[in-house]
Structure formats: C-alpha cells, structure tokens
Structure 1
Amino acid sequence: MKTSSAGDSREAILLVDGECALCHWITAFVMTRDAARRFQFGSLQSPAGLQLLREYQLPLDMNTFVMIQEDRAYTKSDAALRVLRQLGGLWPLASISIIIPRALRDFVYDRVANNRYRWFGRRELCNLPAAKERGRLIDGDGGGAA
C-alpha cells in the first residue's frame, strides 16, 4: 500500500488471528491509541488477509501477527514493536526492546502465541468497531476482521 508521506508515518495494515480473543484486544488497543489513524486492520483468515499473505510470500500461520508497511511485511515481535513505536503516549518507549535479539524476542512471542487460546480464549464472532472505525477494516464490511 502506497501513501504520500515518509517514514513511519505511512499507513500500515495489521493482520491478526480473527478467532483469538487476545488478538481482538490488541486490535482494539491499537485502534484506540492510533490517533493519527495510521493502521488498517484485518484477519489472517479473511480473503483480503489471505491475499496479502500470498502477496508477501508469508506462510499461512495463525500464530503470528503481521504488519505491512512501505511494501514490507514484518511478523511476530518485529511487527509488535514497530506498532508500539507508532502509537501515542509512552508506548514508543517499549520499542527499545528491539535491542533484544530477535531469536529471544520471538521465543517469548511464540510461547504466548502457542497458548493464547488457553490463556485468553477463542472468539466465534468478532465485534465490529464503532461505525467511525469500520472504514479501517481491510475487509470492508468487517467480515472476519479483527
């Protein structure tokens, strides 16, 4: 997705597991704190999400979080830290943990991802965001989007 601004101010797409309660919470968390409205959202399982996974040659992996920005795809802890860097408030400070080796960050990420249904639950249906936020869903009608 191309936009006219530079750097981290470009729009990004976040893809999450549409059945995961933790992922739903993360989507709501980011949406609430994204005052600049940089992020659009979708589920990995949706037609649009699946198309993006194919386009960026990413595996169909429901245990990951994907951020697509400036024609690059980031996954797992890299994606999460890049999102935090672009939020308001003190959240960008958390991105300093990028100095931790990726293997260690992703090890912790994988432990949470592999246990997320057990710890946080599974959702059969996703709540649609408020009407003013629905345009931020890449699936248009919100079907399958986080």
Structure 2
Amino acid sequence: MNIILFDGECHFCDATVQFIMKRDHKKHFKFASIQSDIGQTLMEKFHVPKSIDSVIYIEGDNCYFKSTAVLRISRKLDRGWKGFYLFTIIPTPIRDLIYDKIAKNRHKLIKNNQCSIPKKDDLDRFLQ
C-alpha cells in the first residue's frame, strides 16, 4: 500500500493532497494526517522522528521523507508528472535544502485558510 502522511493543520499540505488526488486517477495513494491516530501509529511503526517537518510517504515496507518522498510520489502520478522522478539524480542533500526552504515558508505560500472537504468518491482514500 502507498500511504501519504501529511500535516492536517497545514493549508499548503491540504492543497498538495488535492493536487495529488487530481493527478492520481488510478488511486495509487491513501492519505492520513500526521495528527490522526493512524498517522501516529504509522509514524511509530516506521520510527519517524516527531520533529520531522516533511510529507511522509510509505511505500510497502519503506518510508521516505522530504524530497525523496515527493519524487517517489511523482512517479505514480498521471502524465508528465512522472518525469520529475528524474530529479533523483540530484544528490539528496541538495534536493532537501530546496524542500526545507519550501517547507519553512509553506504557511505563507497558501493564502486560503480553509481545507477542502473530500468528495464522496474520494472518502475511501483517507485513512481514519
């Protein structure tokens, strides 16, 4: 199973989930907020540090963070988004510097202060 853990209190993260869902017509991904019970359980299972400020991507028995998580997610998206996986040729520390810069400013990047309500057809993609 492919699970994306996201910050349920972050509007940028909500927008990211919506972005992924619109480009994942095969429904590869399930979603859970980090703050949810299932999110906390998965973080413990995969020994994710509480201090991590990152999207967390669980693919099978592996767990990925920061830019690696984003790029691994991109390879399962529709159309040209798969091509972003090529950025894995850039060393992880450099990619993560860019990721950290965006993460640090994510609350400023989205002015909308309302999270989306999932469509009825998408409710099964959110883990409770």
Q: Separation in 1 of the partners of 2:112 and 2:119?
A: 21
Task: State the match for 1:84 in structure 2.
Answer: 74
Aligned to 2:61, which of 62, 67, 71? Answer: 71
* RMSD of aligned residue pairs (Cα, Å): 1.5
Deviation string 1:10-45 (CA, Å, 9 cap, x unpaired) is: x30001111111111110111111111110001111
Give 1:13-52 correspondences, 5 Å limit: 13-52=3-42
Shift of 1:136: 0.5
Q: Separation in 2 of the partners of 1:48 and 1:126?
A: 20
Q: How many pairs align?
A: 128
Q: Separation in 1 of the partners of 2:25 and 2:16?
A: 15
TM-score, length of structure 1 as denominator length: 0.82
Task: State the match for 2:83 in structure 1.
Answer: 93
Q: Is the 8 A contact 1:17 1:62 kept in 2?
A: no
Alignment CA distance shift 1:62-1:22 (3 Å): farther
Aligned to 2:48, which of 58, 68, 78? Answer: 58
Task: State the match for 1:128 in structure 2.
Answer: 117
| Mapped pair 1:137 → 2:126 | yes
Shift of 1:62: 5.7
Shift of 1:48: 0.9
> What's the secondary structure of 2:84's corresponding residue?
helix
Aligned partner letter, 1:22: F
Alignment CA distance shift 1:61-1:131 (3 Å): farther
